[in-house]
Amino acid sequence: MLKSRHLLGLDGMEKPEIELLLNTARSFREILDRPIKRVPTLQGKTVVNLFYEPSTRTRISFELAEKRMSADIVNFSAGTSSVKKGESLIDTVKNIEAMKIDMVVVRHSSPGAAHLLSQVLDANIINAGDGGHEHPTQALLDMMTIRERFGNLAKLTIGLIGDISHSRVALSNIFGLKAMGARVLVCGPSTLIPRGIERLGVEVFHNIDEVIPQVDVLNILRLQLERQKSGLFPSLREYHNFFGITRERLERAEKPILIMHPGPMNRGLEISSHVADSEHSVILEQVTNGIALRMAVLYLLAGGKSEIH
Amino acid sequence: MKFTKDVSKGQEGFQKLPEKLILKHARVIDPGQNLDDVLDIYLVNGVIERVEKIDPLNFDGEVLDLDGKLVSPGWMDMHVHLREPGREDEETIKSGSLTAANGGFTALCCMPDTMPAIDTQEIILYIKDRARGSLVEVHPIGAITKKREGLELAEILDLVEQGAVAISDDTVPVMSAEIMRRALEYSRMAGIPVVAFEEDTTMTSSSYMNEGYTSTCLGLEGIPSVAEEIMIARDIMLTEYSGSRLHIAHISTRKGVELVRQAKAQGIAVTAEVTPHHIALTEESVRSFDTNTKVRPPLRTGEDVEALLEGLRDGTIDAIASDHSPHAWEEKASEYIYAPFGVIGLETALGISVGELVHKKVLDIAGLITKYAINPYRILGLPYPAIMKGHLANLSIFDLDAEWKFDPARSLSKSSNSPFVGRRLKGKPFAVINNRQYFRSIL
C-alpha cells in the first residue's frame, strides 16, 4: 500500500514505495502488449482529468491508462487566462466533486496546485505537473525505463541536462533517483541551475563533456524557448553548441549511454535528431511505459494492495 | 441568522471610561522616563492626574485592578494597510482602527496604497475625517509619487500640511534613483522621513518566495535577498548624499541589517523596522503552500532571522510594525502563484513579539516597549505618549504571561489572512486607553 491517498510528488517518498510503484507498473506493462488491452480494475470509478495547462502527451497517456483500466473519464481543460476572471480553482473542483467522482488528475501552472486540491477534496489527487515543482509520474516512468535496461538504479549515474531551474521533470527525478540511491549529475548553463540544488545531493556541472564520460543515462530536458527572451542565456545557437547532445559528443564516450527525453523535443537544439532516433534512445519506450506506470498509480491509489496477478 | 464573524461586535470592547479611575497594582513601564515600578495611575476625565503609590481610601474613583498586568505608553503600529478608500470589503478605517485597539495599539500609520492612492490632500482629509474621534489615532502616510507610479513627485508639502507623517510608495519601490533622490531632498523641507519599500523589481518579476534551497525544492521562482539589499544600499547612499531621513520598511535580510548598521555608524539618518512574521517564520513554512506564507518581502532563512534578532538587540532595527495587509478570503484561497502578497498582523503583533523577543530573551520588556511605543514616534518626529501627570492617558495594557491562540472569529479585522491562526502565543493585549476612551480586547 502507498502511504498517501494522493500522488502529489516524490519529495519525501521512500524507496519501498517507489519500488512498489515500479513493480506494479511492470505488471501492467504486459497488458499493453495483449490483443485486448483492457482490464476491469477501475470499473465503476470516475476519473477527472483536469488540465489547466496545455498538454498532449501526459493527458493522452493518463486518458489511455484510465481507459485500459475501464474507468469512466471526464476531461476538463481550461486556459490559464480564465483562471483569474472566471471561477476559482477550488470552486471548480468542488463542483466537479459534487458530481460524485473518485479521482482527479491535475495539471496546473502553480506549484502546490495538486497539494491545494488534496486539502479541499475527498477524491484521490494525482499531480500531473504543478508549475516548476513536481511531475511525479514522469519521473517514475523515467525510473521504470532505466530499471528495465539496467536492473538496479542504485549503482547508476544519471545526468539531467538543460534547464534545471524551471523543470518539474528534473526535480521529481532528483527526489526519486536520490531515494533509490542513484548518483545524479545536473548540467546546464549556470543561469538555469537553481540555487541550493546541491543540497539535494546532486553534483553540478556546466561542461557537458565532463558529464558524458561519467554517466550511464542522459535525461535531456526540453528547453523552453522563452527562457532566452527573459535573458537567461544569449542564443539558441550558443546553447546548442555548448549543451546540445550530439552524435559527435557521444562518440567520445567509451561505453554506451541510454538517451532519454521527456518530450516534446526541440530537435537540433537540446538533442540532435541523430541521437534522438539512434539505437541508444529509449524516448518512445518512455512513452509506452508512461501508460503502464500511470495504470499502476491509479490502481494503487484506488486501493490496490500490491503487485497484481 | 448568526454569522461567526461580525465586525459590529467590536463595539462590545468599548466600555465607558469613568470620570475618575484608578489603575491599580499595575507594573508601569515607560522607558522614556526609565520608569519601571508597580504603581497606581489616577485618571480624571481621561487625563493622568497622578502616577504613584496611592492610598485608595483617599480617592473616590472607580478601581481597575491590574495586578499582573503591564501598563505602557500607547503602542503605535507604523505600517498598516487600511484599504479605505477602495477595498472596503477587506478593511475600513473603522474596522482597522478597532482591530488595532483589539491588538493593543492606540495609534497606527496607514499606507498610501489605497484606491485612489493617498497622493493628494483630499485623501488625507478624507482619512482624517473618517478617523475623527477614534480611540486609535490614524496617521496617514502620503505617497512619494503621483499614483505611486514612481514617475512624478506627489504634492508632498500639501500632504504633510494636511497631516501626512511620512511619505512612501509602499508595496512598490521607487525604481528611479533620480526620483528617489529628489523625493529625499524635497521631503527634507517638510521634516518627514521617506519610508522605503526596498526591492529591485527588475529582478523579481513572477517570483513568489525567498530564493534559495527551499524555493528550489518547491519549484517556486525566488525573490533574491540581494534584490532588497541593493536598494537598501542605494537609498542609504542617496540619503547620505541628500542629507535627508530614510526609514526602511520591513527589513528582512542579514546583509540588509548589516548595511543599516554600517550606515548608522557613519551617522547617516536611517532607521528601520521589522515585522513580527519576519522574525517568527522562515521560508520553510512555505512548504505547506499556505498562501498566508506569501508575503513581500518574502519569509527568509533562519540565518536572516538570527540577523534580524541581533539587529533588534543592538538597536540597528528601531521599530516593529505589522505590515497588516488584509486580503479577501477568496483572493487568498487560490493557487500559490495567484494569491496576493500579505498577511494581517495587528492582533498578533504583541503576542508574537512578546513570545519571540521577551520570553526568548532577545529584548527585555522595556526594550520591546521602546520598539513599539517610543521609536515609531521618534522616527516620525512626534512626541511619544509619556505616562506623565497632566498628559492625556494614552496607554496600552497587556499581560506578559497569558497564553492564548489567535482565533479569527475573535478578530475585528474584516479579513482573516493570518499565518498565526492556531499558533500558541504568550503575551496578550488586555486593554487600551486613549482619547478618553477605554477598549477592552476581546481576543
Min distance A46 CA to chain B CA atoms (Å): 25
Give the per-residue pLDDT at A81: 43
Q: Do A125 and A146 lie in a common domain? A: no
Q: Do A80 and A104 lie in a common domain? A: yes
Q: Say whether A197 and B216 touch across the interface (CB within 8 A).
A: yes
Min distance A26 CA to chain B CA atoms (Å): 29
Q: How far apart are the first and last CA of chain B?
A: 23
- Number of CB pairs < 8 Å for A and B? 66
Q: Is residue A129 part of a domain?
A: yes
Q: Is residue A9 part of a domain?
A: no
Give the per-residue pLDDT at A229: 78
Q: Please give the Cα distance from B57 to B67 (Å, whole number).
A: 18
**Whether the Cβ atoms of residue A220 and residue A273 lie closer than 8 Å to each other:** no
* Residues contacting residue B424 through CB under 8 Å, at least 6 positions apart: B403, B404, B405
Domains in chain B (CATH in brackets) are 10-71+389-440 (2.30.40.10), 76-379 (3.20.20.140)
Each residue of B391-405: pLDDT tens digit? 999 999 999 999 999
Give the per-residue pLDDT at A231: 87
Interface residue B337 vs chain A (CB under 8 A): yes
Q: What is the mean pLDDT of residues B319-346?
A: 97
Q: Do A51 and A110 lie in a common domain? A: yes
Which positions of chain A have pLDDT values less than 70? 79-85, 305-309
Residues of chain B with C-beta less than 8 angstroms from the C-beta of A84: 338
Q: What is the mean pLDDT of residues B121-150?
A: 97
pLDDT at B1 over 90: no
Q: Is residue A168 part of a domain?
A: yes
Domain count for chain A, please give it. Answer: 2
Give the per-residue pLDDT at A230: 84
Residue A226's domain is classified under what CATH number? 3.40.50.1370
Active site residues of B: 323
pTM for the complete prediction?
Answer: 0.95
Q: Please give the Cα distance from B138 to B93 (Å, whole number).
A: 8
Q: Do A94 and A157 lie in a common domain? A: no
Q: In chain A, whose CA is at the least distance from the CA of B219?
A: A133
pLDDT at B2 over 70: no
Q: Do A68 and A111 lie in a common domain? A: yes
Q: Do A152 and A260 lie in a common domain? A: yes
Q: Is residue A3 part of a domain?
A: no
Give the per-residue pLDDT at B6: 56
pLDDT at B7 over 80: no
Give the per-residue pLDDT at A87: 83
Q: Do A148 and A259 lie in a common domain? A: yes
Q: Is residue A230 part of a domain?
A: yes
Q: Do A294 and A253 lie in a common domain? A: no
Each residue of A148-197: pLDDT tens digit? 999 999 999 999 999 999 999 999 999 999 999 999 999 999 999 999 99
pLDDT at B184 over 50: yes
Q: Is residue A34 part of a domain?
A: yes
Q: Say whether B338 and A134 touch across the interface (CB within 8 A).
A: no
What are the C-alpha distances in Å from B62 to residues A55, A89, A231, B15, B346?
Answer: 73, 56, 70, 13, 30
Q: Do A279 and A292 lie in a common domain? A: no
Residues of chain B with C-beta less than 8 angstroms from the C-beta of A112: 218, 220, 289, 335-336
Q: Say whether B219 and A111 touch across the interface (CB within 8 A).
A: yes
Whether ipTM exceeds 0.85:
yes
Give the per-residue pLDDT at B16: 83
Each residue of B48-71: pLDDT tens digit? 999 988 666 667 789 999 999 999
Q: Do A84 and A184 lie in a common domain? A: no
**Whether the Cβ atoms of residue B135 and residue B155 lie closer than 8 Å to each other:** no
Backbone angles phi, psi at B363, to 5 degrees: -130, 150
Give the per-residue pLDDT at B132: 95
Give the per-residue pLDDT at B55: 67
Q: Is residue A309 part of a domain?
A: no
Q: Say whether B218 and A111 touch across the interface (CB within 8 A).
A: yes
Provide the residue range defining the domain that includes A102.
15-133+287-301
Q: Say whether A88 and B330 touch across the interface (CB within 8 A).
A: yes
Q: In chain A, whose CA is at the least distance from the CA of B205?
A: A230
Q: What is the mean pLDDT of residues B324-333?
A: 96
Nearest CB neighbour to B216, from listed A90, A112, A195? A195
Q: Do A278 and A140 lie in a common domain? A: yes
Q: Is residue A6 part of a domain?
A: no
Give the per-residue pLDDT at A84: 53
Q: Do A148 and A277 lie in a common domain? A: yes
